[in-house]
Structure 1
Amino acid sequence: MPLNIRELDRLPALDAGLAGRLAAVDLATLGHYLEEGFCDPALRRFAGSGKVVGRAVTVRLTPTDSTLLHHIAGLVGPGDVVVVDCGGDRRHAPLGEVVVNALVARGASAAVVDGVCTDLDALGDLGLPVYAYGTSLLTTKLHGLPDGGLNVPVVAGKVPVTPGDLVLGDANGLLIAPADRLAAVVDEALADDAEEPGLIAELHAGARLGDLTGATETVRKLRAAQPSQHL
């Protein structure tokens, strides 16, 4: 595929207000309202901690060549999450100690590799959240091939990613979606989170979960609607 490069200034800016609300929500609560955008659970966090809320800056690599990743690592800034599509390669690690140091120096929020990473001990010390499918000693090289793309549509964790999408992550996994889709559900999710401590208190006071959520009443209606069964 020919080289395709779009500049960072063509991406939509991160909405600080929306990012703040998403940072406050329990990300799993969004799973009550959305079905799409959740990455493959096998794509997991290998370094860093806490919650990630940032703007997707995408890189599509030709397997074995990380030239484009080295280039974009010097251009990202605060709030950016570098999302690397390795073209299906799961052997060559494009991201390790040097690249992550470059991202940390620029203030990036996280890195997501649809492949493998390396230098795990060093990544743990740096603190940047890094998501990948695994680790490898075999690394990419700087071949300088006229192939791949920057800020182009990619895939990460079986989820299509458009440059400028919002990347949300924690220890449980990743959610990548357009800002407007997340804006449509975040306030309801925050309201759910606010109610949860009261619900848990009622459970410890003896209430039954199905009674509180309505599930038990639903089961009663389902049973009542079934034909009578005679032994």
Structure 2
Amino acid sequence: MSLNPRIAPRRQRVDSALLEQYRSISSSTIGHVLDSGYLRGLRPLFEGIHMVGNVVTAKLRTPDGSILRDALLCSEPGDVLVIECEGDAECACWGELRTLAAMIKGLAGVVVSGAVTDVAALREHRLPIFSRGISALTTRSLGQGGELNLPVRLGEVQVHPGDIAVGDDDGVFILTAPQAQELLPQLLAKEQADRLRRAAFLARLMAKEV
């Protein structure tokens, strides 16, 4: 039976200047000052990832992945698609063709609370992707509804459209727009302090090796 999806308009709560500032901030720096917002159990699909973007949310119930077509259509360059998957955790909702479509749209990355597939191709294309696992079992376009640009929950974290996603090799944090604005000076200061300490440690190490 076909069901109508629940679709709300895309939201952007922060400007591009703030997003740009977060490109120099690592997830572990956020983890030094914030306990909430970390997406536990989600891992990057490959190394060398850095992802910052405005969040677009989608919710599906496997084995139906039809809402993701709407999600890709509504997304804009620089967005991060955050997907809550209900149902079979081994049923992958994201693979190579959706990755190529996301790259054409200019997405900054994809975060999936379930599994992904076509991993060799996904690693080759290098769109930042975070997931809970890998599977050959996949979703289908069954037209059984879903939700777009409404709040979703990934583990303990409720994610809203218009939040900021910051992800790298160490994982993903979700920040609300007010959090992102408030924490920015502290995070930039810590990044600078860590760079100075790292340089000092490396100088001492090099001196020791001479």
TM-score (ref. length: structure 1): 0.81
Q: Distance in 2 between matches of 1:79 and 1:138?
A: 29
Question: Contact 1:54 / 1:166 at 8 angstroms: preserved in 2?
Answer: yes
Task: Give the number of equivalent residue pairs.
Answer: 202
Note the C-alpha offset of 1:202: 5.1
* TM-aligned CA deviation for residue 2 of structure 1: 7.2
Distance 1:62 1:12 in 2: 25
Where does residue 37 of structure 2 map in the other structure? 37
Distance 2:187 2:22 in 1: 9
Q: CA deviation at 1:205?
A: 4.7
Aligned mates of 2:49, 2:92 — CA distance in 1: 24
Q: 1:132 to 1:188 in 2, by over 3 A?
A: same
Give a deviation string over 1:158-184, Cα, whole Å, max 9, x none: 311011110000000000120210211
Determine if contact 1:25/1:186 at 8 Å carries over to the other structure.
no
The alpha-carbon deviation at position 26 of structure 1 amounts to 2.8
Q: Tell me which residue corresponds to 1:25.
A: 25
Matches for 1:24-173 after TM superposition, within 5 Å: 24-40=24-40, 42-47=41-46, 49-145=48-144, 147-173=145-171
In structure 2, runs of 5+ residues without a counterpart are 206-210
Unmatched tracts of structure 1, length 5 or more: 207-231
| Aligned 8 A contact 2:13 2:177 in 1 | no
What is the DSSP-based 3-state SS (H/G/I as helix, E as strand, rest coil) of the residue aligned with 1:152? coil
Higher relative contact order (CA 8 A, sep 6+): 2
Measure the CA separation in 2 of the matches of 1:187 and 1:133: 32
In the alignment, which residue of structure 2 is the partner of 1:190? 188
Cα distance between partner residues in 1 of 2:183 and 2:146: 34
Looking at CA atoms only, which structure, 1 or 2, has the larger radius of gyration? 1
Distance change >3 Å, CA 183–CA 140, structure 1 → 2: same
Q: How far off its partner does 1:50 sit?
A: 3.1
**Residue type matched to 1:166 in 2?**
I
Instruction: For 2:99, give the aligned amino acid.
Output: V
1:4 to 1, 6, 12: 6
Inter-CA distance 83–197: structure 2 relative to 1 (3 Å threshold):
closer
Identity over aligned pairs, percent: 32
